[in-house]
Amino acid sequence: MLLLQLLVDGAVSGCAVGVVAITFAYVYATTGVFHVAHAGLFTLGGYIAWWLSGQGLPFPLALMGAVAVGAAVGAVMQKAIYETLMKRRASPLVQLIASLGLLAILQNLVALLFTPNMLQFEAVSWRLSMLDIGPIHLSLPQIWTLASSLAILAGLVLFSTRTILGKRIRAVSSNRALAEITRLRPFDVYVVVVAIASGLVAVPSVFIGVDQAMQPYTSVLVLLTAVIAVIAGGIGSLPGAFIISVVLAVLQNLVLALMPGRWSIAFTFMLFIVFILIKPTGLFQTRLKRAS
Amino acid sequence: MNFFLSYVILAEIFAIMALSTNFLVGVIGIFSVSQAALMGVGAYAYAVAAMAGLPFPVALLLALVLCAILNVLTSLPSLRLAGDYFVVTSFGIQLVATAVFINWSDVTGGVSGIAGIPAPSFFGVSTEEPRNFIVVTTLALIAAATGYALLMRSSYGRVLHAIRLDELAVVAAGRNVLRLKLGISAVSGAYAGLGGALYAIFLSFIDPSSFEIHVSVLILTMLVVGGARTLSGSIIGPFILLSIPQFMALVSLPPTMVGPARSLAYGVLLVAFMLLRPQGIAGRRL
Amino acid sequence: MPTCFTRLAAGAVSLLAIGLSGTASAQEIVIGAVLPLTGPAAPTGIEEQTGVQFAVDGINAAGGIRGRKVKVIYEDSQGKPDQGVLAFNRLVDLHSTPAIVTAFSSISLAMAPLATRKKVFVVNPAAQTNKLATASPYLVNTIPLVADEVAVMTKYAVAKLGKKAAIIYENAAAGIDARDDFKKAFVAAGGEILADEAVEFGQTNFRPTLLKVAAAKPDFVFIGITVGAPTMADQVAQVPGFPIAIGTTFNRPFSGFASTAGWFHTGIKSGIAPEAEAEFNNQFGTKEMGFFAREYANATQIIFKIIDSLIAKNIPVTGENIRTALFEIKNFDSPTAKIVFDSNTARREIEVLKLVPPGREVVETGTN
């Protein structure tokens, strides 16, 4: 019974990580930027919703507000920073370091505005409600995390394969130079992609925040697990990244039943390094896509 | 003037760390955010050896050799891959190292760390006081910088630069690229071991928090602000970055704003340098 | 956001105060405080800072120490020992502070050899790792250490709760000390440890750990964490059949939840005069004066009391003299606590408290 509960809890956390993973992968595969500031946007989303709901806004509106702010901040970041660097043909290393800087700015801005304290969504009345599904106990925010994450996965995949904009994005990501010639205006597309990713990543951030609590500096570990999932799943495969995220989180939880919890993070990364040695292309992709 | 001396000493130690990072990031273009982990291995190796009563040269040598070997071993997976995969492998190594520092408490003292690490004496003079220890760190930095300069001017150094510019061409010229990369990893590791050992002596206390990921990021930032791939950049960077908190301490800010404001300033600095001067103050194009 | 503005306003006021008092600098007494004002430990550091500031504002409002104003210089350790060492050197070299208030075990331990070398009086009001007892003759702890509290708690638990226990501890100095001390004391008393689980500092998802511990079916759980208690309490409510838990002072924030009713923890007896608390709340816009704020205010007041005695006797205010005077005065009674210094660690009353929502009851009182 313990194992089953651990498995389900792990799967729920894994879905949240999965959204971080697929949105990171969406940005990375399209723009080529190793966007570590994504962790900062994850932090920001939860705090915006916390503040809005504290102002008396109903929760759905607070959630939408967080998504909107996330999307706007992401778009500005792409337009003002990454685009400038790309046009100057800055190396991936330079872009990565700029992204690290943006992460520091976002996290500390949040700490400055909302204090570095651990915050709970006191204004959300249902945050502690529980549901029993057979022998499994889940909190209402956990169920929302699960449902919203799966919806985002499905939505992003459908958007990417079925809509004109989605197809245009894929065209740009597969060949930027060609896209430029064929007037697909890659830089406009990048802004849209980063905005979508930054808005969506606010959703799991808010639900996890409601379910547990928030701190400005903890999102880096979430992003790292997500990035590992992206690489292990194969860059370019959204469902792959999502599935690996869930598997990783479940493994982390199950390992806990077998050995002391303090080694579980080390275990995950050991697994990753071994994995990278054996199958560097990822499980769901055969072609090794190098960063430009 | 201990305040000024301790600033110079730490900057010199971090300059050695920046040189260690420079070999990888600047010279052959391998991204690394696990330098602090290596520095930690050096610091712990020195501390454990010195606490066990081994003389200074032996303890130092132990730290250097251990770090060189470890860096070669941990670089192996990443050397087979290219691009941003390194970032993650490197992040992984860093996090695993931190977990080991924390949890292998029989050796590392766990979270409580190791206190009372002895400072060596030379010719009957103890280096416990900063005004004496600064001689040690300055000599170490001069040695490290000379080593870096000589290596870069040698034919070996020129091949390393060639690897970054065009790896295939170097392979085509019949050179064993993997062996070259492993060689430079060993040198980089030994530098980190030196930095770690000096750090352990200077603070007389080490714990896992001194070798966490943000320290790796700080070292990288120092290199980037100073300017990658140059000797002067690796030395300027640490002096500038370590001076920021010192200057901010002289300015009165409302108490609750001090901390996040400074970290915010680091972030702004990073972004600004990347936007306006990505080659750093003294460096060349990254 | 009102708290933010109040904090800003409070900050601006104290900034103004520092600026004004700067004019009388010849007679001014300058002390230092090295606190984690940024990073994951910042919430604690900022609360500690309000305590120090409260004591300083209080004494200056009363005309200073025998007419000499007090100024405190804050340094941010960022929760890192190396930054702590740098901050220490800055304070001592630039401002010649005879006394420094510190925070966190690792940082205090890193400063200890320097305190010995420079003869600077270092006061630790909250860190409890056992090594602090003997780290430096110049480092004094105004609070009993982990081992002292655990001894009182374990004695009670063995007698009243049972002989099978599980442990949840934070993977940081205080948590690890608590785990080790509890394990040693409990096993020596014939107890058995069924599970031993770590959580990381600042972690917010405790469910897997709680589930694993509950599944081991112990008589009670020893919990040693310093942050995240409200979150853990919420999640305990979601784990059916979670046993009763015990712990030390750090478990104070577990109070007030239905899920933690009947839990026990030891407390360092730490009070505050109601009018002082009201004034504190008024100044910093808080609802209560937290444990850290009280302890830091009290520790700062202890420093003032010693300095007062030195000035009265016309003895120079140096770290060495402060230390000597501390052991001469020996007893420091205040509304916060009765404190006796026989050694570098204060002897104080330790209570075993039972959580009875909405408050807690004292069930036993011991001492270290």
Q: What is the mean pLDDT of residues B229-243?
A: 88
| pLDDT, greater one: C357 or C266 | C266
Residue range A215-227: average pLDDT? Answer: 84
Q: Chain C: give the shortest CA distance to residue B105, in Å.
A: 10
pLDDT of B78: 67
pLDDT for residue C15: 42
For the stretch C85-99, pLDDT in tens is 888 888 988 889 999
Domains of chain C by start residue, with CATH = 2-142+271-336 (3.40.50.2300), 146-268+350-367 (3.40.50.2300)
B72 vs B174, residue with greater confidence: B72
Whether B132 and chain C come into contact, CB under 8 Å, resolves to no
Nearest CA to B256 out of C318, A50, C303, A113 is that of A113
Q: Which of B70, B84, B165 to mutate to test the interface with A (most CBs of A within 10 A)?
A: B84
Among candidate residues B163, B229, B279, the one with its CA nearest the CA of residue B25: B229
Specify the pLDDT at position A169: 84
Q: Which residue has the higher pLDDT, C9 or B191?
A: B191
Domains in chain A: ranges and CATH:
2-118+136-278 (1.10.3470)
What pLDDT was estimated at residue B251?
A: 64
Q: Is the pLDDT of residue A261 over 70?
A: no
| Encoded tokens for B204 | 């007389």
**pLDDT per residue as tens digits for the range C257-305:** 999 999 999 988 888 899 999 999 999 998 989 889 999 999 999 999 9
Tell me the C-alpha distance between C119 and C112, whole Å: 10
Closest chain A C-alpha to B73 CA, distance in angstroms: 12
Distance CA A51, CA A114 (A): 8
DSSP one-letter code for C64: S
DSSP states of C92-109: HHHH--SEEE--SHHHHH
> CB–CB of C227 and A218 under 8 A?
no
> What pLDDT score does B225 carry?
85
CA distance B183 to B161: 14
3-state secondary structure (DSSP) of residue C246: strand
Residues of A in contact with C46 (CB under 8 A): 115-116
CB contact under 8 A, A9 and C238: no
Where residue B178 falls among pLDDT bands split at 50, 70, 90? confident
The contacts of residue A101 (CB under 8 Å, 6+ apart) are B266, B267, B268, B269, B270, B271, B272, B274
Contacts with C85 from chain B: Cβ below 8 Å = 6, 203, 205
Model confidence at A231: pLDDT above 60: yes
% of residues, chain B, pLDDT over 70: 90
- Which residues of B are less than 8 Å from A92 in CB distance? 83-84
**CA–CA distances in Å: residue A173 to residues A28, A131, A196, A261:** 9, 42, 15, 40
Chain C CB contacts of B256 under 8 Å are 7-8, 11, 37, 46, 49
Q: Min CA distance, B95 vs chain A (Å)?
A: 7
Pick the residue with more confidence: B87 or C48? C48
pLDDT of amino acid C22: 40
Kindly indicate the confidence band of residue B283, based on its pLDDT and cuts at 50, 70 and 90: low
State whether residue C167 is helix, strand or coil. strand
Q: How far apart are CA C148 and CA C141, in angstroms?
A: 12
Predicted pLDDT at C227 = 83
pLDDT: is B4 or A10 the higher one?
Answer: A10
pLDDT for residue B263 is more than 80: no
CB contact under 8 A, A13 and C231: no
Asked whether the beta carbons of residue C197 and residue A260 sit closer than 8 angstroms, the reply is yes
| The most confident of A262-276, C199-213, C340-354, by mean pLDDT | C340-354
H or E element in which residue B206 lies:
strand B205-206
Is the CA virtual torsion C319, C324, C327, C332 positive or negative? negative
**B258, closest residue in chain C (CA to CA):** C37
Residue with tokens 């389900």: A8
**Residue B32 above 70 pLDDT?**
yes
β-pair type (C338-340, C331-333): antiparallel
Q: How far is B34 from chain C (nearest CA, A)?
A: 18
Per-domain residue ranges of chain B: 2-211
Q: Is B168 exposed, middle or buried (0-12, 13-18, 19+ CB in 10 A)?
A: exposed
pLDDT of res. A93: 76
Strand duo C99-101 + C29-35: pairing: parallel
Q: Indicate the range of B72-86, B184-198, C146-160 predicted with least confidence.
A: B72-86
Say whether pLDDT at C25 is over 70. no
Q: How many CB atoms lie within 10 A of CB B231?
A: 19
Q: Which residues of A touch B283 (CB under 8 A)?
A: none
CB pairs under 8 A between A and B: 132
pLDDT at res. C2? 41
Whether residue B45 contacts residue B197, with contact meaning beta carbons closer than 8 Å, is answered with yes
Query: Tokens 């009391």, residue?
Result: C305
**Which burial class, exposed, middle or buried, applies to B172 when counting CB atoms under 10 A from its CB (0-12, 13-18, 19+)?**
exposed
pLDDT above 50: residue C9:
no
B118 touching C, CB under 8 A?
Answer: no
Tell me whether residue C7 is exposed, middle or buried, using C-beta atoms within 10 angstroms of its C-beta: 0 to 12, 13 to 18, 19 or more. buried
CA dihedral C215, C218, C220, C225 (to 10 degrees): -50
What's the pLDDT score for residue C1?
39
- Interface residue A283 vs chain B (CB under 8 A): no
**Could you give phi then psi for residue A119, rounded to 5 degrees?**
-115, 145
> What's the gap in Å between the CA of B204 and the closest CA on chain C?
7
C21 falls in which pLDDT band (50, 70, 90)?
A: very low
Q: What is the pLDDT of residue A262?
A: 64
Q: How confident is the model over A183-187, as a mean pLDDT?
A: 80
Burial of B158 (0-12, 13-18, 19+ CB in 10 A): exposed
Express each pLDDT in A61-101 by its tens digit: 999 999 999 999 999 999 999 999 999 888 787 888 889 88
Chain C nearest C-alpha distance from A204 (Å): 14
Which range among A16-20, A193-197, C108-112 shows the weakest confidence by mean pLDDT? C108-112
Question: In sequence order, what E strands does chain C have?
Answer: 29-35, 70-76, 99-101, 121-124, 139-141, 164-170, 192-199, 220-224, 244-246, 264-268, 331-333, 338-340, 349-356, 359-367
> Inter-chain contact C40–A217, Cβ cutoff 8 Å?
yes
Top mean pLDDT of A11-20, B228-237, B252-261, C37-46 is at A11-20
192-221 in chain A: CB under 8 A from chain B? 220
Residue C86 contacts B, CB cutoff 8 Å: yes
Chain A contact partners (≥3 CB pairs within 8 A):
B, C
Tell which of C50, C82, C104 to mutate to test the B interface (max B CBs under 10 Å): C82
What was the pLDDT predicted at B151? 93
CA dist list (Å): C198 to B60, C44, C48, C223: 34, 21, 26, 10
Task: Answer whether residue C23 shows pLDDT above 90.
Answer: no
Chain B residues near residue C92 by CB distance under 8 angstroms: 2-3
- Position B133 pLDDT exceeds 80: yes
Alpha carbon of A185: minimum distance to chain C alpha carbons (Å): 41
Amino acid identity, position C152 = V
Q: First-to-last CA distance in chain B?
A: 37
How far apart, in Å, are the Cα atoms of A132 and each of A135, A150, B89, B134, C64? 7, 20, 40, 65, 62
Asked whether the beta carbons of A85 and A94 are under 8 A apart, the reply is: yes
- Long-range interactions of A71-76: CB distance < 8 A, separation 24+: A71/A195, A71/A196, A71/A198, A71/A199, A72/A195, A73/A41, A73/A44, A73/A106, A73/A198, A74/A41, A74/A194, A74/A195, A74/A197, A74/A198, A74/A199, A75/A191, A75/A192, A75/A194, A75/A195, A75/A198
Judge: A266–B96 Cβ closer than 8 Å, yes or no: yes
For tokens 């409070």, name the residue: C10
Q: Which of A232, A220, A280 is nearest to B78 (CA)?
A: A280
Contact residues, chain A, for C211 at CB < 8 Å: 2, 5-6, 9
> In sequence order, which ranges of C123-264 are alpha helices (DSSP H)?
146-160, 173-188, 207-215, 229-237
Residue-wise pLDDT for A114-171, tens only, equals 877 788 888 888 888 888 888 888 899 999 999 999 999 999 999 988 888 888 888 8
Cα A169 from Cα A177, distance rounded (Å): 13
Residue A12 Cα distances to A66, A209, A263, C26, angstroms? 21, 13, 21, 63
Residue of higher predicted confidence among C35 and A276: C35
Q: Is A133 in CB contact (< 8 Å) with chain C?
A: no
Half-sphere exposure of A161 (CA within 13 A, CB side): 9
Encode pLDDT of B97-115 as tens digits.
888 898 888 898 887 788 7
Residue A186 CA, chain-centre distance (Å), reads 23
- Interchain CB contact of C19 with B (< 8 Å): yes
C-alpha distances out from residue B174 to B168, B169, B170, B177, B178, Å: 10, 9, 7, 9, 12
The distance of A255 to chain B (nearest Cα, Å) reads 16
Residues 124-153 of chain C with CB under 8 A from chain B are 129, 131, 135
Of C80, C113, C117, the CB nearest to B210: C80
Q: Do C228 and A213 touch (CB under 8 A)?
A: yes
Residue in the structure block whose two tokens are 């090794």: A288
Residue B254: the pLDDT is 58
Euclidean distance between CA atoms C365 and C353, whole angstroms: 9
**CA atoms of B47 and B235, how far apart (whole Å):** 26
The β-bridge relationship of strands C164-170 and C220-224 is parallel
Q: Which of the pair, C261 or B259, is modelled with greater confidence?
A: C261
b/e for C335-345, b at 16 or more Cβ within 10 A?
Answer: ebbebebeebb
Contact A112 B274 (CB under 8 A): no
Higher pLDDT, A71 or C76: A71
Which pTM does this prediction carry?
Answer: 0.79
- Mark yes or no for CB contact B111/C172 under 8 Å: yes
Of A23, A267, A19, A30, the closest CA to residue A172 belongs to A30
Mean of pLDDT values over B147-171: 86
CB pairs under 8 A between A and C: 87
Report in angstroms the alpha-carbon separations of C66 from A51, C13, C313, C332. 46, 23, 12, 19
Q: In Å, how far is A183's CA from the nearest CA of chain B? A: 26
**Chains touching chain C at 3 or more Cβ pairs under 8 angstroms?**
A, B
- pLDDT tens figures, C303-343: 999 999 999 999 999 999 999 999 999 999 998 889 999 99
Do residues B151 and B161 lie in contact, with contact meaning Cβ atoms separated by under 8 Å? no
Choose among C1, C204, C240: nearest Cβ to A215: C204
A107–chain C nearest CA distance, Å: 10
User: What's the pLDDT at A288?
Assistant: 37
Which residue in C201, C204, C260 has the most chain A C-beta atoms within 10 A of its own C-beta, making it the best mutation to test that interface?
Answer: C204
Tell me the residue type at C353: L
Q: Is the pLDDT assigned to residue C31 strictly greater than 60?
A: yes
A259 touches C: beta carbon within 8 Å? no
> Which residue, chain included where needed, has tokens 């003389």?
B55
* Chain A residues near residue B226 by CB distance under 8 angstroms: none
Angstrom distance (rounded) from CA A75 to CA A77: 5
Facing residue for C46 by CB, picked from B4, B10, B256: B256
The crossing angle, in degrees rounded to 10, of helices B177-203 and B2-22 is: 170
B269, closest residue in chain A (CA to CA): A101
Kindly state whether C117 is in contact with chain B, defined as any CB-CB distance less than 8 angstroms. Answer: yes
